[in-house]
Structure 1
Amino acid sequence: MTLPFFVYGTLRPGEPNHDAFLRGRTRTERPARLTDAVLYDGPGYPYAVPEPGGVVHGDLITALPDAYAELLHALDALEEYVPGDPRSLYERIAREVIREPDETPVRAWVYLAAPSIATALRTGGTRIQTGDWHSRNR
């Protein structure tokens, strides 16, 4: 399934992994938000965790068609996502996000905290109250 990517942390424009992974591989980059999720601070990067009523702000990234397969593989490796591996830090899930400013719903890949990580964050993590990695205390 070829979907755009919703990024909310170090892959956002202006963040260090944007240039390393996305520069020259994208057709469009637009602001967007993920609903029913909240953001937690991690060790230098954030985790989105499902939670009713929450909002995570980020960007909707559409890859260039000829770069898609390579980018998907590179992002899975960056996020330490291996399908079916319980040691994965994230799970790549197809979720609806809201593209801004036109409020269009778009199905996109989102890297959410793996279940064991999400449980630990809910009980002892530092939540980013704004849901925006760019606004966190640096």
Structure 2
Amino acid sequence: MTENSPSPDQCHVFVYGTLKPNEANYDKYCAGQVITQQQAIAYGELFALPMGYPAMTIGNKQVYGYLLTFPDDIILEAMDDLEDYQSDRATSENLSENLYDRQKIETFDLAGSSLGLAWAYLMTKEQVIKFAGIAQTDGWWSNFSGDRPKF
């Protein structure tokens, strides 16, 4: 392993909502623990939910967010609690007892080169419909107007 190569123990998480830098949950869950962060793209569909946070589903549209790197996967325990995810709950593509399901997805830099796999919290389309989610056709969600960085 070279000095610049990532440690196999590091944990990569793609965030697109309240865990992004400058959003509501970043300071509580991520600040002071993130080794690196970079703008990133994943493929799915993004929705704004009336509860004040977004949901990403499986899909083929660009979703813009950040790839956060943590020293290890201990951070996932706190994130799992926030996202109401428990690995022992039943889940399928169309139905989940979790609010979000944690899945590994491929992430990309802004030029389209792969950044590798990262954990992401995804919701089923049925849950998004149940919550009356509104499609974010530009692939970006923020609680702050005008907060979209240049991607």
TM-score of the pair, normalised by structure 2: 0.76
Aligned length: 131
In structure 1, what is the equivalent of residue 4 of structure 2?
none
Letter in 1 for 2:41: R
Contact 2:10 2:71 in 1 (8 A): no
Partner residue of 1:80 out of 47, 59, 84 = 84
Q: What's the TM-score once normalised by structure 1's chain length?
A: 0.83
Which residue of 114, 124, 146 corresponds with 1:104?
114
Going by fraction, where is helix more abundant, 1 or 2?
Answer: 1
Shift of 1:28: 0.2
Q: Gapped runs of 5+ residues in structure 2?
A: 1-8, 90-95, 147-151
Is 2:46 the partner of 1:24? no
Alignment RMSD (CA, Å): 2.4
Q: Secondary structure at the match of 1:24?
A: coil
SS at 2:142 equivalent: helix
> d(CA) in 1 for partners of 2:88 and 2:82?
16
Gaps of 5+ in 1: none
Identity %, equivalent residues: 29
Per the TM alignment, residue 128 of structure 1 is displaced from its structure 2 partner at its CA by: 1.1
After TM superposition, give the deviation of residue 117 of structure 1 in Å: 1.1
> Pairwise mapping of residues 109-120 of structure 1 onto structure 2 (< 5 A)?
109-114=119-124, 116-118=126-128, 120=130
Partners in 1 of 2:100 and 2:112 — Cα distance? 29
